[in-house]
Amino acid sequence: MNLQWLTRRNRFKKPAPLKRTPWQWPGIVRNWRVYARRAAVVCLSVGGLAGLTWALDRPIRVISMDGAFQRVSPGEVEKAVMPYAQAGFMSADLDRIERAVESVPWVDHARVQRSFPNGLHVTVVEEVAAARWGESGLLNTRGELFVRSATHVPAELPRLSGPDGTESQVAQRYLATQGRMLEAGMRIAALRLDERGAWEMDLDSGVTVRLGRRDVDERVDRFIHTASQVIAHRVNDITYVDMRYSNGFAIGWRNAPATLPAAAPGAPSMPAALPASRSDARAT
């Protein structure tokens, strides 16, 4: 049998007719009762929620609060809340009220909650002053300037200063250095950053430590482990310690002694100690 001829013949074979299925209603029409019930449930739920909200949205009558209230008065908090409390118990915007309370001086952050049936409860956390900034500014523990002109500045706070916009940088330097100084038995009374980027700190003993612009962390370590041991018994006679040298340090005396101390251990070729009235312009 010639199979090639059969193959060509089958190529012209008519396809089998398609089976026609009976026409059916769309599913949404067949199941209209199910969809209608669902729509009714949704409408009833939304309507009930709206009705409940309307029934509960009564005027706010009570504003309660808690907090330390050492620097912030309850009256200041209530004054910040009242413009937003007129909206009603349910429609009051809690986020906006919190931001309004946090705009009050000395407020770090606030939390506002609804207090059924017609009140608001405000929790206030006050700022913690970690340092002074300039003459009368105050920095918190995050290095943020939260008061620019305080009427009362705690005298025990360290004084930080620097160009505008460097508050956080100076505060972070202070926090990082103060811990190391405390471990060595010393305390920073003031920390300054000048316009050239040079650092300088005053100790509570009255000694000024010049750190310069470069390798500040290394110079702090060198002061703690070397220079502080040399000046430990003469702090009342010393004006400053200049750490802006790669191989030593210089001491400024209130009254230059006839005999100067020897170089500190581990600091070869230490420059000669300088009287307080002199300085070395080469130090950076």
Closest CA to 111 of 76, 90, 81: 81
Give me the residue spans of the domains in the chain: 62-126, 129-275
Tokens standing for residue 86 = 């007129």
Calpha distance 161→192 (Å, rounded): 5
Mean pLDDT, all residues of the chain: 80
Calpha distance 41→255 (Å, rounded): 93
pTM, entire model: 0.66
Q: Residue 40: how many CB atoms within 10 A of its CB?
A: 10
User: What is the tens place of the pLDDT at every residue in 85-125?
Assistant: 888 888 889 999 999 999 999 999 999 999 988 899 999 99
Which pLDDT belongs to residue 36? 58
User: What is the tens place of the pLDDT at every residue in 117-165?
Assistant: 889 999 999 999 999 999 899 999 888 999 988 888 888 999 999 999 9
Task: Fold for 129-275, please state it.
Answer: Rossmann fold (3.40.50)
- Band of the pLDDT at 186, cuts 50, 70, 90? very high
Calpha distance 219→180 (Å, rounded): 12
Does residue 280 register a pLDDT over 70?
Answer: no
Closest CA to 190 of 182, 199, 198, 168: 199
User: What is the tens place of the pLDDT at every residue in 21-42?
Assistant: 554 555 555 565 666 566 655 6
User: What is the DSSP-derived secondary structure letter of residue 237?
Assistant: G
- 196 CA to centre of own chain: 26
Closest CA to 123 of 109, 104, 105: 109
Calpha distance 275→257 (Å, rounded): 9
- Band of the pLDDT at 277, cuts 50, 70, 90? very low
In CATH terms, 62-126 corresponds, of 1.10.10.10, 3.40.50.2000, 3.40.50.1100, 3.10.20.310, to 3.10.20.310
Tell me if 269 sits within 8 A of 263, measured CB to CB: yes
- Band of the pLDDT at 51, cuts 50, 70, 90? very low
User: What percent of the chain shows pLDDT beyond 70?
Assistant: 70
